[in-house]
């Protein structure tokens, strides 16, 4: 560990997790995965809504042209 004094006041299981790079790396990977996938899901939903709106506008324009 680069900074042993950084976690000297932490005890128990939390200290084990914070002192081990593999645990920190795993936790970081999970958090980033949740954050980035959540953002991608929101973008997909927005894209779907935009597509639906585009279809509705196209149908309305076609209907107006026929009238």
Q: Where along the chain do its domains lie?
A: 13-66
Give the CA-trace dihedral at 41, 44, 48, 53, to 10 degrees: 110
Question: Per-residue pLDDT averaged across 42-57, rounded?
Answer: 78
pLDDT value of residue 30: 92
Rounded CA-CA distance 19/1 in Å is 7
> Would you say the pTM of this structure is higher than 0.85?
no
Q: What percent of the chain has pLDDT above 70?
A: 93
Residues in the chain: 67
Q: Could you read off the pLDDT of 14-34 as tens digits, one per residue?
A: 888 777 888 888 989 999 998
């Amino acid at each position: 560990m680069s900074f042993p004094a950084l976690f000297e006041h932490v005890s128990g299981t939390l200290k084990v997790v914070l002192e081990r790079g593999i645990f920190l790396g795993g936790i970081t990977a999970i958090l980033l995965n949740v954050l980035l996938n959540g953002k991608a899901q929101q973008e997909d939903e927005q894209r779907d809504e935009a597509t639906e709106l585009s279809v509705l506008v196209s149908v309305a324009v076609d209907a107006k042209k026929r009238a």
